């Protein structure tokens, strides 16, 4: 049995962790997302005991979540078990638990495992990589009617909502209700909103064609709203314009500069007008997980921990925050909350700790290397922005597909996704069109 499990079992009885008397230093990593896994990997040859804690047993490749929500892929194709790390990296112990408290003074965290209870675990180094969660900008009541897309449950909920709406539209005798069921409103025109709207547009035009005798799914109305002035605000204006034009060709109605005031079971009120809709999807803001706040140090407005140039938390020795949970500034600009930044930050901190464990000091602060930003807009069209290079169209889409397949965790996922994409590309069919039965 690994040392960590032996120790925590002892702790269950006493609920107190003994002062570290271990020969090896312990690094606790919270979060098995992009940043946490990169940190663990960078520490693979170090003489440290690693404990990687996540509240779910799988890592999710979030950039393809929208394809699960629109039935192109199934959940297991974009996820990988975090526990596999124990088989491949000898110095890691994986714990399925939710971290519920951090005590900087005593260097302990509190983690609650389903069916087991709360454990206290001591650490010498702590790496927080807990990512973001959806933000409804102070209107949490919208969440009930407008699911966000952050994990596999969300993706499956959205998929069921979309497919269910067509079934209800085909069943009802009420014209108004049919129109409401066939109206889809997406709130937030960032990459997730754009990718989801475009994929949905192709699903209604191609995949569902001929599937319903009583309704024509291609007549569905897909509306993409945003309070901002344009779609993809983090991309150059020229690319935004091209994407808006392409969405228009796909049949998506883009409404920039429109603020959502209310979301309820009938639809939304936006810009003073009611839009009846049975499917409202929230693709707008995000905020940090509550974990950085537990440190008691400074956070930004989105709840991300402010870290120094070495990604350390000021006044908390041995504590680092990486990935989406960290607010990192570079050349007076924030480092973006994207997978590449999370991977680079996790890897940097892993290497820094490995060096410190060898008694060496790291002098070079973290520096983000921007490999470029991409967004896909349905079949055959994507945009890429990398420094001065701005491209769009079919070749960019091929690059997007190649990069995403290669970045998926596990070889089996890469092979399965490739096969699904080829099938879907040539037939227009989507193999994951399931509405789960109610429990
Ligand atoms: C729908 C969607 C699409 C995206 N598309 C792109 C894209 O195309 N390109 C791109 O570069 N980026 C994209 N991103 C952003 C990218 O996914 C994030 O920047 C990246 O996942 C951040 O990595 P992370 O490790 O910081 O956090 P995450 O990957 O979110 O991982 C955080 C982990 O921490 C765990 N955790 C959280 N709280 C606790 C707790 N209390 N106890 C235990 N475990 C906890 C979670 O379960 C999770 O496994 C997208 C994000 C979303 C949601």
Which atom of ligand 1 sits closest to the CA of residue 337? 19
State the alpha helices, DSSP H only, in 172-257: 175-181, 191-202, 237-250
* 8 A C-beta contact, residue 239 and residue 385: yes
Q: Which of 57, 62, 293 to mutate to test the pocket of ligand 1 (most atoms within 8 A of CB)?
A: 62
Write out residues in the chain with pLDDT < 50, as ranges.
1-2, 5-6, 8-19
**Ligand 1 within 6 A of CB of 194:** no
Helix (H) or strand (E) holding 287, with range, is strand 286-288
Nearest CA to ligand 1 atom 20: 339
- Residues 249-264 as b/e (b if ≥16 CB within 10 A, e otherwise) read ebbbebebebebeebe
* 8 A C-beta contact, residue 146 and residue 187: yes
**Ligand 1 within 6 A of CB of 30:** yes
Q: What is the pLDDT of residue 437?
A: 86
Give per-residue pLDDT as tens, 316-341: 999 999 999 999 999 999 999 999 99
Q: How far is CA 293 from CA 84, 137, 249, in A?
A: 30, 18, 44
Helix (H) or strand (E) holding 162, with range, is helix 152-171
The DSSP bridge partners found for residue 280 are 185
How far does residue 43's CA lie from ligand 1's centre (Å)?
21
Q: Which residues contact 193 (CB under 8 A, 6 or more apart)?
A: 186, 187, 224, 226, 231, 281, 283, 284
**Ligand 1 within 6 A of CB of 62:** yes
Nearest CA to ligand 1 atom 35: 31
Query: Between vectors from CA 313 to CA 312 and to CA 314, what angle results, nearest 5°?
Result: 110
The DSSP bridge partners found for residue 9 are none
Q: Which of 29, 54, 57, 148 to mutate to test the pocket of ligand 1 (most atoms within 8 A of CB)?
A: 54
- Assign 21 to helix, strand or coil: coil
Q: What is the pLDDT of residue 276?
A: 98
* 8 A C-beta contact, residue 394 and residue 382: no
Nearest CA to ligand 1 atom 38: 130
Which atom of ligand 1 sits closest to the CA of residue 65? 1
Q: What is the pLDDT of residue 23?
A: 80
How far does residue 62's CA lie from ligand 1's centre (Å)?
7
Longest dimension (CA), the chain: 75
Give per-residue pLDDT as tens, 184-214: 999 999 999 999 999 999 999 999 999 999 9
pTM of the full structure: 0.93
Q: What is the pLDDT of residue 11?
A: 45
Active-site annotation holds for 23: no
Q: How far is CA 304 from CA 192, 230, 234, 349, in A?
A: 21, 26, 19, 17
- Cα dihedral 324, 329, 335, 336, rounded to 10, equals 60
Q: What is the pLDDT of residue 439?
A: 77
CA distance 213 to 164: 16
HEC profile of 32-64: CCHHHHHHHHHCCCCCEEEEEEECCCEEECHHH
Query: Between vectors from CA 363 to CA 361 and to CA 365, what angle results, nearest 5°?
Result: 125
Two tokens at 42? 């960078």
How far does residue 269's CA lie from ligand 1's centre (Å)?
30
Q: Which residues contact 174 (CB under 8 A, 6 or more apart)?
A: none
Q: Which of 49, 110, 156, 195 is catalytic?
A: 195
CA distance 371 to 89: 28
Two tokens at 62? 């979030």
Q: What is the pLDDT of residue 369?
A: 96
**Ligand 1 within 6 A of CB of 78:** no
How far does residue 97's CA lie from ligand 1's centre (Å)?
17
Q: What is the pLDDT of residue 16?
A: 41
**Ligand 1 within 6 A of CB of 129:** yes
**Ligand 1 within 6 A of CB of 31:** yes
């Amino acid at each position: 049995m690994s040392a960590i499990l032996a120790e925590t079992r002892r702790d269950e009885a006493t609920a107190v962790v003994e002062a570290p008397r271990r020969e090896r230093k312990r690094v606790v990593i919270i979060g098995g997302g992009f940043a946490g896994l990169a940190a663990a990997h960078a520490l693979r040859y170090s003489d440290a005991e690693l404990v990687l804690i996540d509240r779910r047993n799988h890592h999710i490749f979030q950039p393809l979540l929208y394809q699960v929500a629109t039935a192109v892929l199934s959940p297991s194709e974009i996820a990988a078990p975090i526990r596999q790390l124990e088989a491949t990296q000898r110095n890691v112990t994986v714990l399925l638990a939710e971290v519920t408290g951090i005590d900087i003074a005593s260097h302990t965290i509190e983690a609650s495992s389903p069916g087991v209870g709360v454990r206290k675990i001591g650490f010498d180094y702590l790496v927080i990589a807990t990512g973001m969660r959806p933000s409804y900008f102070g209107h949490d009541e919208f969440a009930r009617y407008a699911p966000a897309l952050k994990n596999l449950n969300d993706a499956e909920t959205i998929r069921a909502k979309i497919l269910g709406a067509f079934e209800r539209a085909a069943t009802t005798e009420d014209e108004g209700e049919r129109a409401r069921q066939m109206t889809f409103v997406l709130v937030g025109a960032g990459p997730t909103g754009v990718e989801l709207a475009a994929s949905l547009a192709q699903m209604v035009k191609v995949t569902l064609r001929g599937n319903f005798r009583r309704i024509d799914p291609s007549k569905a109305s897909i509306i993409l709203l945003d309070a901002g002035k344009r779609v993809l605000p983090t991309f150059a204006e020229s690319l935004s314009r091209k994407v808006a034009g392409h969405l228009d060709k796909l049949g998506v109605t883009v409404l920039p500069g429109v603020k959502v005031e209310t979301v309820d079971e009938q639809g939304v009120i936006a810009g003073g007008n009611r839009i009846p809709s049975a499917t409202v999807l929230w693709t707008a803001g995000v905020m940090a997980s509550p974990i950085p706040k537990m440190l008691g140090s400074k956070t930004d407005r989105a709840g991300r921990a402010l870290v120094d140039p070495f990604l350390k938390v000021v006044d908390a020795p041995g504590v680092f925050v990486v990935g989406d949970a960290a607010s990192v500034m570079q050349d007076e600009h924030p480092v973006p909350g994207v997978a590449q930044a999370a991977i680079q930050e996790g890897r940097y901190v892993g290497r820094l700790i490995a060096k410190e464990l060898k008694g060496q000091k790291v002098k070079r602060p973290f520096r983000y290397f921007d490999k470029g930003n991409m967004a896909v807009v349905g079949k055959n069209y994507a945009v890429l922005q990398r420094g001065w290079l701005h491209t769009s169209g079919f070749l960019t889409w091929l690059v997007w597909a190649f990069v995403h397949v290669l970045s998926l965790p596990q070889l089996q996922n890469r092979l399965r996704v490739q096969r699904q994409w080829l099938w879907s590309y040539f037939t227009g069919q989507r193999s994951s069109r399931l509405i789960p039965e109610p429990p």
